[in-house]
Amino acid sequence: MSSDPAIVVSDLSVEYPARGPSASCVALRGVSFRVEAGEVLGVLGETGSGKSTLAAILAGRGLPLRASEPGPRVSGGDAHVLGHSMRKARKRDIAEVTFHVGYLAQEASSTLEPSLTVGENVALPIFERDARYNRRSAGERAATMLDTVHLPLSVLSKYPYELSAGQRQRVALARALVLGPSVLVADEPTAGIDATVRDAVIDLLGQLADHAGFSAVIVSHDLSVLRRATTNSLVLQAGRVVGYGPIEDVLANPEHPFVAGLATALKPPSRRSERRPQRSSAD
């Protein structure tokens, strides 16, 4: 197994340039961390904290290759993903990163192609890489991926609208894993699915982390995901890192007011112990 880190983020700042009436927006400010081979990093933060921007950049998605293209720009520092600089990324670098990094975007289940069967949806990244790839081999790979995410092979010929939200989310996860990535970036993988399926997805993410050298970055507001599927967690607030470490340690010893507030909000409600007066022997 390679000892090189999967991801190295050094003083990374990212902004969305002004476009028309919209002013420029700084999404990330001086963010630094590492994800070692075999590590699963959780990312936690409020809406607008830069979580999804960070996820997209680490997955090599959305970065403009020309100045005229819309999208976030690395304005300071850098992020190296599997050795590729995202600040100086060229088309070839992006192609390498998107091949080796699986990406589960927010509300990924809604990005499935409605006119394609489940099997065709899962195999889609294969044909985006090579339109002449053997269809039987691609179908076998899709079936293997469905088994990996604990879906029956009977769903291969179904269409997304015939599945539940939880099943569609697992199909999207199978699609993100179909190329056999060494890194997975998942943005809110359990959002919008019921508790039973959520636990199955969390367990699956935990199992993936057991594979030798497999690394992941999981953006989630779900504390059970961070507790059960991550090694360390990064807390973002207004684009800055305000907490880092195992999630329980971060919440137990907050070093920033935002993390302290988060710890209080996530703390389970205390049960009031109401003692009934004991009866005396005379009663």
Please state whether beta strands 232-237 and 40-45 pair in parallel, antiparallel, or not at all (unpaired). parallel
Domains within the chain, CATH numbers bracketed: 7-264 (3.40.50.300)
Whether 106 has a pLDDT exceeding 50, the answer reads yes
Condensed to tens digits (0 to 9), the pLDDT of residues 228-253 reads 889 999 999 999 999 999 999 999 99
Q: What is the pLDDT of residues 71-87, one digit of tens each?
A: 788 999 999 999 999 99
* Strand, helix or coil for residue 146: helix
CA pair distance 219, 187, nearest whole angstrom: 5
Sign, CA torsion 133/135/136/141: positive
What average pLDDT does the segment 30-42 reach?
94
Among 235, 202, 228, residue whose Cα is nearest residue 46: 235
In tens, the pLDDT along 147-171 reads: 988 899 999 999 999 999 889 988 9
Q: What is the pTM of this model?
A: 0.86
Structure confidence at residue 280 as a pLDDT band (50, 70, 90): very low
Task: Please give the Cα distance from 242 to 45 (Å, whole number).
Answer: 9
Long-range contacts, 68-73 (Cβ 8 Å, 24+): 70/19, 71/16, 72/14, 72/15, 72/16, 72/27, 73/14, 73/15, 73/16, 73/17
